[in-house]
Amino acid sequence: MATVTYSITGAFNGYNAWSGTIIVSSLSNIVSADIPTTITANPGSISFSPQSFQYYPDTDGNGNEYITWRTYNGPSQYPDSGYSLDIWSTDLFNDVNSGSDWSTLISNGSYFLTTNKHTLIYKYEPPQGPYAPLYGTGGLITFT
């Protein structure tokens, strides 16, 4: 097992900075094929065990692509239960979609986050769901 730390800095329209961990099998595993055992996020002491990984290409011509780990393991892009970590970044999307492993994400340094979509932790559960306990637009995400 390996721990990947992610840090979001310089975001706006929400939390300026937040971070967490992603527990994976090995840093040499392909990101899209290695479902983490646990994802955490702080502030808020959020922790969940993803069951699926998805990535969604731009559908409206605005260059908005995102990757997501979810506790929901169904076919819908819009879950109705559980948690997700949704990261909106064109460069990160391209690296993951091209078969990068975790060590490549770490060595690449920071990725710019999309300025017109929220990178966030979603909670899809009553009574608040869906809502985002952590969110922000723009800034950088760094994996270490």
Residue 115, number of CB atoms within 10 A of its CB: 13
* pTM, rounded to two decimals: 0.94
Confidence band (pLDDT; 50, 70, 90) for 28? very high
Residue 130: the pLDDT is 84
Check: CB of residue 116 under 8 Å from CB of residue 138.
no
Range of the domain at 40: 2-143
What is the tens place of the pLDDT at every residue in 96-132?
999 999 999 999 999 999 999 999 999 987 776 688 9
Domain count for the chain: 1
DSSP letter at 116 equals S
Residue 87: the pLDDT is 98
Residue 129: the pLDDT is 66
Residue 78: the pLDDT is 81
The helix/strand/coil state of 110 is strand
Check: CB of residue 139 under 8 Å from CB of residue 14.
no
